[in-house]
Structure 1
Amino acid sequence: MTTVRDATIRLLRAHGMTTIFGNPGSTELPMFRDFPADFRYILGLQESVVLGMADGFAQATRNAALVNLHSSAGTGHALGNLFTAFKNQTPLVVTAGQQARSILPYEPFLFADRATEFPRPFVKWACEPARAQDVPAAIARAYHIAMEAPCGPTFVSVPVDDWDQQCDPIEPRRMVANNPGDPFALAEAAEALAQARRPAIVVGAGVARDDAWEEVIVLAERHRAPVWVAPMSARNSFPEDHPLFAGFLTAGREPIVASLAGRDLILVLGGPMSLYHVEGFGPHIPEGSVVWQIVDNPAQAAWSPAGTAIVANSKAAITALLAGPEPVARATPAPRARAPMLDGRTLTDAYLLQQIARLRPAGSVIVEEAPSSRGAMHDHLPIVARDSFYTCASGGLGHGLPAAIGIALARPSDRIIALLGDGSSMYAIQGLWSAAQLGLPISFVIVKNGRYEALLNFGRVFGLQETVGTRLPEIDFCALARGQGIAATHVDSAATLDAALAKSFAAPKPTLVEVVVD
């Protein structure tokens, strides 16, 4: 016999989950008795930061990460980034403490009422085991469900007195859940693609999650098809300096139709094309077009408003498409026009992004949460390498800063550039402390415009004369960084920008650059 704790630690080690992200509370402490030397505990100062760090780490390692939260209150703090992890399709195993079983009938202090219901619907599976002896098996099941496509978070509530109970050891096992897709449907899609005269390809985050970067390039070149990025895609799935790169689809019905007009076949790979942020009217696809969509998420396949959907792993499905018939003769589409170079007479977000593109080290990774600068980023900061861009798929804020820390933990030899809006960064600013304690090579770049610019833009959409609650005066990000142990530089002119960025990009430890933009 062994303890529940020992059996769980052995299981976690077998699955490569030796990094635990948490902010401990009283009901979690017994889990960490005799904490093993080959494990590491990553402390975040608030549970939303903890969840965001784990999300970034899991995405970068392509393996589920373990998150340890406190009962109810701590889990509640983490829910915003749990929602983002669910939308990101990030595999996470979230454990939360629960009070001792013997006092649960008395509603004790800091217990979780209906613990498994609280994180729903943003977990794939939730469990509070009926017996202490069932805890390791529940965590094993949570891991396998988290890793099964579509990946996502799972949740296990563990009473505090369970960890020291005796149980039988559990043998780790392997589960393969890589759906190659229906071969007959994929053969039909390959035939339709080969016969199309003016095909287009739309790539979403699933292409990156499934590591199909090279395959989608070969597919596009073989069919001479322009490649668009799906609306709000949270990962980079095609090189933005490639001659076939066509641009980014806007999250609205009419602009999607306008961008793809004239295409007789639209192949959507790894993500939804019809993702809308504002109300729209009219058709969902251009007249005369047919849509074939390949995604790993049955829910996306079900709510897609047009075309044929195949549920499959992107890499396996593209490999099947490449085995299809030779395409008909087609002209090579004209390359996308490049944005003109900016001279820096005015320090705008576009100029900042242009200079980041010029100065960033080779192999660096962009983690972005600056929503109002996304358009400028598309024009002036091309993402050209595999697995070099991450953002949040949910639209919620407070993910980018801690996710950059998790990605840096997973990729310690790469420079991580966290591109953050001033409003966005305040949702998780205490994450800077964790970055400083860990000594990670992250450049935090704050785009400081003194307001929630994205909300001001939406205010214009709704015809508001004034958008209340959007001004952010007098936040000193350099002081906030230095107070948590990070060197910081203030930039308010184009003349000093390049030197500040270059110094930050070369620093062996985390730094922050606050850039005041017009």
Structure 2
Amino acid sequence: MPSVRRVSHEFLERQGLTTVFGNPGSNELPFLAELPDSFRYVLGLHEGAVVGMADGFAQATGRAVLVNLHAASGSGNAMGALTNAVASRTPLVILAGQQLRSAVGLEANLANVDAPALMKPLVGWAAEPACAEDVPRALAQAVFEARLQQRPTYLSVPYDDWAADCEDNALAVLDRNVQRASLPSGEQGRRLVEDVTSARRPALVLGGDIDSAGLFHDAVRLAERLGGPVWAAPSLFRLPFPNRHPLFRGVLPAGIAPVSEAFEGHDLVLVLGAPVFRYHEHLPGPYLPRGTRLVQVTDDASAAARAPMGEALVADPGAVIDLLMKVLDAPAAAEAAYRPVPEPQTADGPAMHPEEVFAALRDTLPEDTAYVVESTSTNSSWWRQMDLRRPGSYYFPAAGGLGFGLPGSVGVAMAQPGRPTVGVIGDGSANYGITALWTAAQQQVPLTVVLLRNGTYGALRWFGDLLGVPDAPGLDIPGLDLTRVAEGYGVPSRQVNGAEELRAVLAERPDGPRLIQVDTALTTPS
């Protein structure tokens, strides 16, 4: 009879989960034994970086990805990065090792007591099989749950299970296929169409799920049919709409009052592919202006259930877009005139203004460049200067957890080596995922990291002013030279001074990773 390990490997191979991001411990080695040649194991030097790389890879490919972690300590190290994957609805399948079964109850060293509870409530599903024979079925459930829920799952497997024999019934899992479809009923569709077509001043709010689901261009066509303003939902992790399109009004501020103010004068707000809403700043007020209705369409049932206002339809946003396109009149045949980009601001002194950096990126790099951004204090400068018109152009830590940027950019670049990828990373956030540079060097990932060094946690300084805490300690980080750190990990690096030198360096096209460090003036997110 085949072993649990052999059946599990074959199942993962049939499901296409052959790229494994991991940092193994002793409990994981038995699973990795006899790994087929079709598998690729991508080693990360810290579990947070491992999950960040897998998150970026899964988002860029649109597929579930296998993550291999150690028991309690390794899984615990990954939980900060896991918050971003949960918020971006990334289907990660986390497979963790466990002590052998007879040692778990003894709480032997490296045992993960009550392993599923460790990862809850972050993951959508977590389990440890009751017996070795159930491991292949449980692994299949972990994969299917991740795909169906669009959320990470977690499976803990005692390491002596992998060598156990499977019963013949276990082979049935190899041919399984689970799919999901979610179309509005006839009555639901009729009501939605009536709501939209009868609105006098409709507004559209798009979430990151629109880009994740490949609906970027469809959303543009729908917006042009509606003819009203378009916002991106607050706390944006993917860009669902071209940011210089004449209908685009920007990213909604992450506060209750300013969101309500943005909707003034609109009788209907149609929200597609976003929670309602992921607020951040405590700016209280009414959820909606008087006379404004909100209708949310999402395939995330949890997001629909927890919204504090409005109506919700749990359905595939793509199907709803198709439905609305059939009933809305086509606009006059005219190409949208994209808004021009303003001249970048400059800074006093030797440091560059972030707008100068972003203008250089925009002017020098190809239009299809994918940007992974983790520099919160430069947010307003970013949106003033960038012109992003392609799907998959923008990635941001979905839960705001630092440490996604560098690993995420490695994962995105690995997923699409034919598309330029740039990580725009602040010097503060870089240190949370710095070990990803080693993986980039080992894999020879075609990645450019633009490291913005301002010597402080700029976003925290802005928040300190917002909260009335101007004297908080621990906000400055002087003395960092990330070029030397990157060189130590095997990534060629250089310090760049001035806009012209930056443009010249960006124009180079190296085959592998590189890091460009630029000193920038302190700016605020808004």
Shared fold, TM over 0.5: yes
**2:97: which partner in 1?**
97
Q: Name the CA distance, whole Å, in 1 between partners of 2:97 and 2:275.
A: 36
SS of 1:148 mapped into structure 2? helix
SS of 1:10 mapped into structure 2? helix
Matches within 5 A, 1:290-309: 290-309=293-312
Determine which of 365, 375, 380 is the counterpart of 1:370.
375
1:301 positional shift: 1.2
Q: Is the 2:245–2:339 Cα contact (8 Å) retained in structure 1? A: no
**1:403: which partner in 2?**
408
Deviates more, 1:102-111 or 1:117-126: 102-111
SS of 1:241 mapped into structure 2? coil
Q: Is the 2:236–2:251 Cα contact (8 Å) retained in structure 1? A: no
1:103 positional shift: 2.3
SS of 2:203 mapped into structure 1? strand
**1:39: which partner in 2?**
39
Q: Name the CA distance, whole Å, in 2 between partners of 1:231 and 1:379.
A: 17
CA offsets 1:442-482 (integer angstroms, 9 cap, x no match): 00111111000000000001112312111010111100110
**1:476: which partner in 2?**
481
Distance 1:453-1:476 versus aligned 2 partners, 3 A rule: same
Q: Name the CA distance, whole Å, in 2 between partners of 1:397 and 1:53.
A: 13
Unpaired runs of at least 5, structure 1 = none
1:32 positional shift: 1.4
Are positions 1:281 and 2:280 aligned together? no
Q: TM-score, normalised by structure 2?
A: 0.94
Deviates more, 1:138-147 or 1:308-317: 308-317
1:513 positional shift: 0.5
Deviates more, 1:308-317 or 1:64-73: 308-317
**2:63: which partner in 1?**
63
**Residue type at the aligned position of 1:191:** E
Distance 1:468-1:34 versus aligned 2 partners, 3 A rule: same
Determine which of 423, 430, 437 is the counterpart of 2:435.
430
SS of 1:291 mapped into structure 2? strand
**1:84: which partner in 2?**
84
- The aligned length equals 512
Q: Name the CA distance, whole Å, in 2 between partners of 1:183 and 1:473.
A: 61
1:335 positional shift: 7.7
* % identical aligned pairs: 38
**Residue type at the aligned position of 1:423:** G
Matches within 5 A, 1:52-451: 52-149=52-149, 151-168=150-167, 169=171, 170-324=173-327, 326=329, 338-342=340-344, 344=346, 346=348, 347-451=352-456
Q: Name the CA distance, whole Å, in 1 between partners of 2:305 and 2:174.
A: 37
SS of 1:404 mapped into structure 2? helix
Q: Name the CA distance, whole Å, in 1 between partners of 2:353 and 2:6.
A: 55
Q: TM-score, normalised by structure 1?
A: 0.95
Deviates more, 1:116-125 or 1:99-108: 99-108
Q: Is the 1:232–1:393 Cα contact (8 Å) retained in structure 2? A: yes
Distance 1:477-1:183 versus aligned 2 partners, 3 A rule: farther
SS of 2:196 mapped into structure 1? helix
Q: Name the CA distance, whole Å, in 2 between partners of 1:208 and 1:120.
A: 27
Are positions 1:487 and 2:492 aligned together? yes
Distance 1:254-1:76 versus aligned 2 partners, 3 A rule: same
Q: Is the 1:206–1:296 Cα contact (8 Å) retained in structure 2? A: no
Q: Is the 1:202–1:229 Cα contact (8 Å) retained in structure 2? A: yes
Q: Is the 1:274–1:284 Cα contact (8 Å) retained in structure 2? A: no
Unpaired runs of at least 5, structure 2 = 522-526
SS of 1:419 mapped into structure 2? strand
Q: Name the CA distance, whole Å, in 2 between partners of 1:343 and 1:496.
A: 17
Q: Is the 2:14–2:174 Cα contact (8 Å) retained in structure 1? A: no
Q: Is the 2:245–2:338 Cα contact (8 Å) retained in structure 1? A: no
Q: Is the 1:27–1:99 Cα contact (8 Å) retained in structure 2? A: yes
Q: Name the CA distance, whole Å, in 2 between partners of 1:263 and 1:76.
A: 46
**Residue type at the aligned position of 1:114:** D
CA offsets 1:85-137 (integer angstroms, 9 cap, x no match): 11110001101111111222322111111111001111111111011111110
Distance 1:308-1:487 versus aligned 2 partners, 3 A rule: same
**2:14: which partner in 1?**
14
Report the RMSD for the aligned CA atoms in angstroms: 1.8
CA offsets 1:371-416 (integer angstroms, 9 cap, x no match): 1111211111132101121112101110111111111111111111
Q: Name the CA distance, whole Å, in 2 between partners of 1:466 and 1:472.
A: 15
